Structure formats: structure tokens, C-alpha cells
Amino acid sequence: MSSESLPQQRIVLGCGSVAVDFLATVASYPNPDDKIRSTSLKVQGGGNAGNALTCASRLGLIPRLISKVANDGQGKSILEELESDGVDTSFFIVEEGNSPFTYIIVDNQTKTRTCIHTPGYPPMRPEELSQSRLFSALDGVNMVYFDGRLHETALIIAKEAARKNIPILVDAERKREGLDYLLNFTSYAVCSAKFPQAWTEAPSIPSALVSMLLRLPNLKFVIVTLGEDGCIMLERSVNGVSDAEEMDVHSLLESLKQRKDDSHAIPTCISSVVTKLSANGIGTVTGRLFVGTAEKIPPNELVDTTGAGDAFIGAVVYALCAGMPPEKMLPFAAQVAACGCRALGARTGLPHRTDPRLATFL
């Protein structure tokens, strides 16, 4: 890959979960007390942070990861797999105990996946990350990413990153202990479909996005991923446009959706102009609304959606480092996520930057 086409700001630091994934494919999900056979089995590294940074590394970034494993066989395989994919694991804590693992049942009929996670023991303690190692981990870093786990350690890193004016991206998958504190330092949030309403108690996703920007003054944008329905993004406008038109956020979202061309198989993006977006009973924020579509994957090519959200986030981290505008970033991230859904496991199908399917973006 030519260095000219790579972003100059390439070093990213992540903190969060790693695991070993045991992925069993079954013809259909079992009923209670059933005995069934798997049609295939794959053992592979997993965990949100491990997956997202593997994705970022394959796209051309230089990721470092802070996490913890035990000095058992699983811990060794987690570290070796990350290192072989270009993720710097020198800031890991390794201790006697048990490494984290996840059983994942992939239903061939519905193309869904069910995860049963067993956390590692002993858990990571914030004092295990010394100040000198923290400074060393942050040295030269252009972006920090958290998956919402290891929240005490993450908060220490976030405070130091904020002090150094390093932008922070958070994966807000679900309400977790310590996540509220982390979000106060966050520059960019990527949420699951359920998170915005669960966190804000707003009546709809669009009004919840307005509420998040009002509650979190440091937040530059929030994206909510909606699986095969694509994503919605609300970006705050830094330069307040005094003559911007005021519009109800729901009406604007509907008008953008109507502009979507569903004949496109590849991901696209529709954006609004800078508008004062109002949500009834919540308030008004000035910004732009984006609707991104997902790739229409032919049913015979769709294998496993495990890690699709992590792939999307890894691609967003890359796009931000590369200075991509949202109109390009959202289709790119959707394309990367779709590549990952064509193979079993969170990492098997993650594309490298040389993948011809990414050529129009890179």
C-alpha cells in the first residue's frame, strides 16, 4: 500500500474488551432441552475493542490497545492474533487467572447470532495502568476509542486524552456502569439502535439524538446504527448559522428518507443542509442530519453479522483520521461492515485497504 494514500494521523489508542470467540453455526436455534449439532465451528479472537482495532489496522491505521488477559492458552492466542493483525498489545496487563471468552450461536435460518459472554478473572484494576505507561500509550496518538468496558481505566485515559485535546470516540452499545462519565469527554458517539432512547428516555430515535447533543456539549456528532436499515447521524454545527431554518427533526428525517434511492445495492448517504433541529419538549440544536444506507447483501452471501458494529466503528475511526466528510464516511463504514458479514466470525471477513470493494473510498 502506498504511504501517500494513508492518513498522516494514523496512531489510535483503544481501551476495552478482548475475548476468544467460539462460533458455532446451527441449522436453526435450539429449543430448551434440545440436543443439536453444529454445522461448523470457528475459534477466533473477539471482543468489541479487539475487533474494531483489528478493522482499523487492516484499513491502514496504527492501533494500540489497553486491555487485560490471563497468562493462559486463550490469553496467549488473543495477543498473538492481535499482533499478527498489526495491533500493538504492549500495553496489555497479563496476570494469573482466566481469559475472557464468548460462546456465539449463529442461526443459519434467521442469520442472527446469540452471544453468551464469560468475563475474564481477575478484572482489570485502574491502578494496573501506571501513569508512565498511560503517558507512553498516549504518545503521538491522534484518536482514542472506548467500547464502554473497563470503565474505571477508560475514565483515567479519557481525562488525560481530554487534557491533551485528543478526540475521543465511544461505542455506546448499551447503558453500562461508568458510561455517563465517559460520554462527558466524548467527541464522537456511535450507538446501537436501542441506546439513544434508553439513555435519554426520549420518545423516538431522532428526538433522542437531539437530546444527546444538548446533554453532551463536547459531542460533535452521534451516529445510531440500524443494521440492514443503515444509520442516522446528527452532526452539531460549530458555527451557529443565525438564519438557518427551524425544522422538526422527525419531519426532516422523513424528507431525507424519501430522497433515498432503494435501487442502489451499494451504500449511499443523504444529508440535510445546516438546520435548527427541534424536538418537541426537548429543545433545539443547530446541525445537519444524515441518513446512510446499508449494502444490500444477497441472501446467499450473508453468512454472519457478528462484529458488524465493530467493523463499522473501526471504519469510522479510520475515516475520521483520514478527514473523510460524513457523506463519504457513512457509506464507507457501511461497506466495511458488509464485507465482514460475508464470513463466519467478527474478523474473518474484515477487509484490508487493498480490497477492491473499498477502492472508490480510499
**pLDDT tens-digit map of 60-107:** 999 999 999 999 999 999 999 999 999 999 999 999 999 999 999 999
Crossing angle of helices 131-138/151-163, nearest 10°?
60
Band of the pLDDT at 241, cuts 50, 70, 90?
Answer: low
For residue 248, pLDDT beyond 50: yes
| pLDDT tier at 240, thresholds 50, 70, 90 | low
Domains within the chain, CATH numbers bracketed: 9-358 (3.40.1190.20)
From the list 305, 313, 310, the residue with the least C-alpha distance to 51 is: 310
pLDDT of residue 261: 78
How confident is the model at residue 1, as a pLDDT? 40
pLDDT tens, residue by residue, 25-44: 999 999 999 999 999 999 99
- Rounded to whole angstroms, how far apart are CA atoms 19 and 47? 5
pLDDT in tens, 182-199: 999 999 999 999 999 999
Q: What is the pLDDT of residues 133-183, one digit of tens each?
A: 999 999 999 999 999 999 999 999 999 999 999 999 999 999 999 999 999
